A and B are shown apart, each in its own frame.
Chain A
């Protein structure tokens, strides 16, 4: 537990900037978390209810898969995976930025 804090160098920003940033960090989820969660919900809707957009059908066959099998098994999960990778990349980059300040591991 201490390892994490010890390897974090102290930031040299002004205290007021730190306080403002810390307030933003600590009290609510980051905007990107909300954004990627909303995208997930939209993708889930499209995934679960393609019948709302398209006629329920087998054709066209894509890579041998019937259309809806491709939709459920490949297409929507691929988009969701990209969504999650983008989330992870952004948040990791942000965690690394935050490590320029001395933080407890739970902050």
Chain B
């Protein structure tokens, strides 16, 4: 058999990648103390700007980018890319205003999670912390599930089917859980730095080569698309993104949701110097932009190489098209870039779930818990959450972008509360915060999972599809939830009196922007 086309060579490349990841994770575990929460959860807030920016990039770029978004771009054209690249505007918008303040609040009060910040504002209110912690853990279940599914797809295809979907997921899970459990944030950050470089190289290099070799260059690739389906290169034309209102509400709600997830929020605290928080919007935007350009190239190549796929088939077009263009060994290298994207994200996510549990539940409800026990509980929750997500993904297939949009839609529901606390508002109350988050998450889940579509249709005919996400009136469901939860926050706060502690407000006012 031709060596370059041997699936065993492709498997060997993937195996080398996994061994390297375990090796880097082991170094982080063996060479740095992990026994206290500050080390295990935040690497002692002492990482360099380079490592911090690469870990934030690697955490954000996931199976959604490598598979789901490329598949959706294949299906909906540049309209979808227009929605998702709103990330380059919405995330920096939040960070320009709040990022340095979040970093400084962390330094001042030892805060790690979003729940920490809000609970402290209300005199360490444990119910506020628990509500936020629960909401964020819920938001990450579909997100982690999507990453595992991606890992399974990529390894199965790149190994020529020798490693099956389920086996691929279990192997990836074991590798990832080992270094996360042992090495904590430092292992996550160091492996992410390595994986972040792989992702950049894999998506940009892979995308460029696929268009040049597989689709005959850009001119030819676009000519072909314009001839067969010109709507794929026109804005707001295809599918639900052809509706400006849906496009706008989706782009705002989803893209504001990404940086609020705990795996992104907590990492705002890991950098050693404040200067990093000022550079981060530009650096992160550049990283994600380059990766999105590479991903767009892959979707263009996919439309030329494998036309006519349905949405479910399209979500693996990245690897399917690569197999048509490259020998299997090169696909293995390319797949390693994709695996890096997924593995780094899932590692960051389940580490952050453990962090949320430790900070928002454990130390809020159990006073004077020894530090070693906090770390032990964090590790236990990481193991439990990872295993539940693994079992969920083994139980059925799913559309990655749909799941990702739900996760981001849930994440954005904490935005009104975050803005109120970060801007030190006096009128907001703890009851308002709890009601706001419960209503936002509740509406997102009900509409996003389509639980009451039949009932809504009996009230207003033809509002929702028979099953799946329901966005009445062409407005993305999480945007409805965002508006409603803002109204609930204001309304309940006006009717209740458990306002922030004046002393804490004075302390927060002293923290810089």
Contacts and interface: CB of A to CB of B under 8 A. Distances in A.
B509 A66 contact: no
B231 to A, nearest CB: 10
Nearest to A82: B282
Nearest to B44: A1
B365 interface: no
Contact of A44 (B93, B279, B293): B93
Contact of B78 (A72, A88, A106): A72
B235 A68 contact: yes
Given A40-B96, A64-B219, 8 more contacts: A26-B510, A48-B247, A51-B236, A57-B234, A77-B285, A80-B92, A85-B282, A107-B512
Nearest to B247: A48
B100 to A, nearest CB: 8
Contact of A58 (B86, B104, B233, B289): B233
Contacts of A69: 78, 222, 233, 296
A88 B512 contact: no
Contacts of A37: 93, 96-97
Contacts of B278: 87-88, 91-92, 95
Chain B facing A: main interface SS: helix
B248 A40 contact: no
B125 interface: no
Contact of B222 (A4, A66, A77, A104): A66
Nearest to B255: A44
A99 B285 CA distance: 27
Interface of B: 45, 78, 81-82, 85-86, 88-90, 92-93, 96-97, 100, 104-105, 107-108, 217-219, 222, 226, 230, 233-237, 244, 247-248, 251, 273-275, 278-279, 281-282, 285-286, 289, 292-293, 296, 509-513
B512 A26 contact: yes
Interface in A61-94: 61, 63-66, 68-69, 71-73, 77, 80-81, 84-85, 87-88, 91-92
Contacts of A29: 97, 513
Given A40-B92, A80-B88, A88 B510 contact: no
B289 A77 contact: yes
A36 B155 CA distance: 43
Nearest to A40: B93
Nearest to A94: B278
A56 interface: yes
A48 B251 contact: yes
Contacts of A25: 512-513
B274 A95 contact: yes
Contacts of B512: 25-26, 106-107
15 contacts: A1-B107, A25-B513, A41-B93, A51-B236, A56-B234, A57-B234, A68-B235, A73-B292, A73-B296, A77-B285, A81-B285, A95-B274, A105-B107, A106-B105, A107-B511
A11 B510 CA distance: 19
Interface in A34-50: 34, 36-37, 40-41, 43-44, 47-50
A64 B218 contact: yes
A20 B244 CA distance: 47
Interface residues of A, number: 48
Nearest to B509: A27
A35 to B, nearest CB: 9
Contacts of A27: 509
B82 A106 contact: no
Nearest to B104: A106
A33 interface: yes
The interface centre, meaning the residue of A28, A48, A51, A95 with most chain B CB atoms within 10 A of its CB, is A48
B81 to A, nearest CB: 6
B282 A51 contact: no
A61 B222 contact: yes
Contacts of B273: 4
A47 B90 CA distance: 12
A44 B89 contact: yes
Given A72-B78, A81-B282, A56 B85 contact: no
Nearest to A27: B509
Contact of A48 (B218, B248, B289, B509): B248
Nearest 5 pairs between A and B by C-beta? A106-B108, A84-B282, A44-B89, A64-B218, A106-B104
Contacts of B107: 1, 105-106
Contacts of A26: 509-513
